[in-house]
Amino acid sequence: MIGEKMIAQVIVDVAAKQTDRIFEYNIPTALTDVTVGSRVVVPFGRRKVQGFVVGITDKTEYKGKLKDLLVVVDEMPPLTPELVELSAILAKKIFSYRITILQTMLPRVMKANYRKILTPIDKATAQLDLFSGEPIDLDEVTDLKKIVQIKKLIKTNKAKIEYLVENKAKKKEEFVYQPNLGAHVYPEIKTSLRKNAINQLALITDLIDNIASYPKTGKELQEQLHLNSAILKQAVEKGWLKRTKKETYRDPLAEVDTKNVPKDIVLNKDQENALNEINKAITAKKAQPFLLEGVTGSGKTEVYLHAIQKALASKRNALMLVPEISLTPQMVEQVKARFGSSVAVLHSGLSTGERYDEWRRIRRGEAQVVVGARSAVFAPLQNIGLIIIDEEHESSYKQEDNPRYHARDVALLRSKYHNCPVVLGSATPSLASRARAQKGNYQLLRLTQRANKKALPEVKLVDLKHVEFAGGQFDLSVELVDKIKEKIAKKEQVILLLNRRGFANFMLCRSCGYVMQCPNCDISLTMHKDTGMMECHYCGHKEPIPRKCPKCGETKIRFLGTGTQKVEEELKELIPASKILRMDVDTTRRKGSYKKILDQFGEGKADILLGTQMIAKGLDFPNVTLVGVINADTSLQVPDYNASEKTFDLLTQVSGRAGRADKKGEVMIQTYNPEHYAIQLAQNQDYESFYQKEMVVRHQGNYPPFFYTILISIASKNEQAAAKFAFVVKRKLMEQLHAPTIILGPTPSSIAKIKNQYFYQILVKYKKEDKLIPILHELQDEAQKIKKQGLNVYIDNEPERII
């Protein structure tokens, strides 16, 4: 190829329908390291933008004159050819721009910063007060007079705009020192030193005695020899030491304690069988999806860890996804204890710097095992031999905003590329996955016994329609309160679930019936007693708690709909001696507070852990013998087709928190719907019956997994405009799609207004519809045009939530 003109195909960093395609550039001969996956800077119109090379070619269809690539940003291309290819496949599937997907594959710091700088052309201009010696950042100029002046300068050709592309990513570097002279020279230096040069003496002595331990970092030298940086600087100047820069990594696992984790656990028969099947697929390099269905406590994690071991033993790497919420130190410790420094962790708790460093370790092949939340599915791991998705039913694997990808789908695509198995694990698999296992698309593996041989906890339903309440409120039954007291007396611990934060759900005036609403959203304001505010959980609007009705002025106002804060207060009154930890979004907002609360509970510093659904998953506290669900109905009342599934999952998962060690566990579920099948079957932890029953319901309702779904949302501040355009879209769909396809809506979404925008939705349910994808891409085209009129269109392929 030498001597031939090479051309780079680039996806530019301009997220728009019109620019969502390849632009071609000449590769100047000076740039030798341009390959597929390179991050580059290119001229684009008048500007410079970042872009990614997705192809290299030697011929072009382009009629104009190609421009040259300007810069290759990184020494190593950040994207692998696999990820470049994956971005193209995904873009078509999820109605997202390719550049948006490429950017989500990379750490946030790799997104470019753009600046416009005004620079004077002649000396006289440079002397103007405006510049005061410095170039001007045009994005920061707000003074109108200055803007006028600047425009004039540009027009008269006295100043010009320079477009800059900045790289935010900063590598952490430290200084490394090594001997600069032969070993025999240092004793000579030692004798020539003045007696009071204690620090220099210490350094030279160390160089004589421990020369083999060099090179040392500045930090090490300073700590070991109690030196300061001035001494090191001198030593370099005198030629004793040579100083170089070395890149280091910020290590998020530095504090993780790995001592107390058991390393070798004997698998039971079920686990052994499952592992064998997975291992076979690893060895055979087969892109086989497995559904690992196992009751809570059946030891799925052990199977994962053994399978990872197998992958590593076969000289291949492993990727393990867990829901953000269960990416607890407990979990990380387990993995780290097995695989040590070959583990990299990616999750939202890391600082951007830590995240970047972990990511680079993976990219360079320095990590063999990656554990992370949703976005870790894009980890630049090569030679993957195994992908694990724990708690595969979790809806957090679906990203709720653009790009709306599902980590499970991405994992399946990657497994095909790498020819490796995917293990989807859950106690309550998603109906979609379970159905695929039924059809034989996935291989079903079952763990039927709890690893510790303990019986599942006994679950009791408390029918709130016929029950005596404690303490004059209508939240806690006497039965539940008595049980809590009994456990506390035995020095055992209790977990209480209430899937609603705040103090009270809404404020009602008994005099005029007024309910206090959010001015921006179509939803009632939640009362937060601790902050003294009425808060909107959708847009964050806050206002003080009223003392009288804002409408009629009467003081007969009531706060209804119990949240975690209120239950906390009631419990303190009913069981004054109890110590309660509350865990919800409000108490875990600060970094590290999540871990802090769990640590306190684990150390037995509290009797009751009261929280929203974030306490339902994955927690493992041996002393917890009672789990109470204060209201099982909250998640049933959601108007989503999968409300039953979510309820069943939540109840089953939270029940699994009870009795994880030697002590027997008990669960009490309070509900107004004790006859509902999701609740009944959760009582028996009977996933199989739930699956059968729910499949019938879904079949009757023409819902997934029998139909594919696409949700089109149209939002605008102008309600009529949103509704009108929604009907236009519907008409278009009706004209072009054929009979078995079902088009529902448009209807206002169940919360019709969020952040001052009205939402109208159309749900398309289809089995086979070739035209749909092109039609939706057309719609996306149109969406961009009408965006200026304040109309937003969102397309969600396989939505998890239909609000």
- The residues that touch DNA, with contacts defined as CB under 7 A, are 14-16, 18-19, 22-25, 42-47, 60, 62, 64, 66-67, 116, 148, 151, 163, 784, 787-788
Task: Identify which of 602, 616, 447, 586 has the alpha carbon closest to the alpha carbon of residue 503.
Answer: 586
- How many angstroms separate the CA atoms of 31 and 27, rounded? 7
Please report how close the Cβ of residue 722 comes to DNA at its closest, in angstroms.
19
Please report how close the Cβ of residue 785 comes to DNA at its closest, in angstroms.
8
Please report how close the Cβ of residue 121 comes to DNA at its closest, in angstroms.
15
- How many angstroms separate the CA atoms of 730 and 714, rounded? 11
Task: Kindly report the three-state secondary structure assignment for every residue of 465-493.
Answer: CCCCECCCCCCCEHHHHHHHHHHHHCCCE
Task: Compute CA distances 348 → 44, 252, 300, 351, whole Å.
Answer: 33, 12, 24, 8
Distance from chain centroid for Cα 498: 24
Number of H helices, E strands in the chain: 22, 34
Which CB atom, from 151 or from 556, has the smaller least distance to DNA? 151
Contact 791/780 with Cβ under 8 angstroms? no
- How many angstroms separate the CA atoms of 331 and 90, rounded? 30
Which CB atom, from 51 or from 659, has the smaller least distance to DNA? 51
Which CB atom, from 67 or from 738, has the smaller least distance to DNA? 67
Task: Identify which of 681, 664, 653 has the alpha carbon closest to the alpha carbon of residue 452.
Answer: 664
Contact 512/643 with Cβ under 8 angstroms? no
Q: Which two tokens stand for residue 6?
A: 């090479």
Helices 300-313 and 269-284 meet at what angle, rounded to 10? 30
Task: Compute CA distances 287 → 94, 114, 414, 426, 444, whole Å.
Answer: 23, 42, 9, 20, 15
Distance from chain centroid for Cα 303: 24
Following DSSP, what letter does each residue of 402-465 receive, concatenated? SS--BHHHHHHHHHHHHT--EEEEESS--HHHHHHHHHTSSEEEEE-S-TT-PPPPEEEEEETT
Residues that constitute the known binding site for Zn(2+):
509, 512, 518, 521, 536, 539, 549, 552
Contact 126/143 with Cβ under 8 angstroms? no
Q: Where are the strands (E) in 541-605, listed by range?
A: 542-544, 557-562, 580-583
3-state secondary structure of 758: strand
- How many angstroms separate the CA atoms of 250 and 616, rounded? 32
- How many angstroms separate the CA atoms of 40 and 248, rounded? 24
Q: Are strands 493-497 and 504-509 parallel, antiparallel or unpaired?
A: unpaired
- How many angstroms separate the CA atoms of 354 and 169, rounded? 11
Which CB atom, from 64 or from 576, has the smaller least distance to DNA? 64
Residues that constitute the known binding site:
509, 512, 518, 521, 536, 539, 549, 552
Contact 292/303 with Cβ under 8 angstroms? yes
Task: Kindly report the three-state secondary structure assignment for every residue of 628-694.
Answer: EECCCCCCCCCCCCCHHHHHHHHHHHHHCCCCCCCCCCEEEEEECCCCCHHHHHHHCCCHHHHHHHH
Please report how close the Cβ of residue 361 comes to DNA at its closest, in angstroms.
32
Q: Which two tokens stand for residue 708?
A: 């594919």
Task: Identify which of 44, 9, 12, 13 has the alpha carbon closest to the alpha carbon of residue 27.
Answer: 9
Which CB atom, from 138 or from 201, has the smaller least distance to DNA? 138
- How many angstroms separate the CA atoms of 232 and 234, rounded? 5
Please report how close the Cβ of residue 10 comes to DNA at its closest, in angstroms.
8
Secondary element (H or E) of residue 736:
helix 719-736
Q: Are strands 47-57 and 7-12 parallel, antiparallel or unpaired?
A: antiparallel
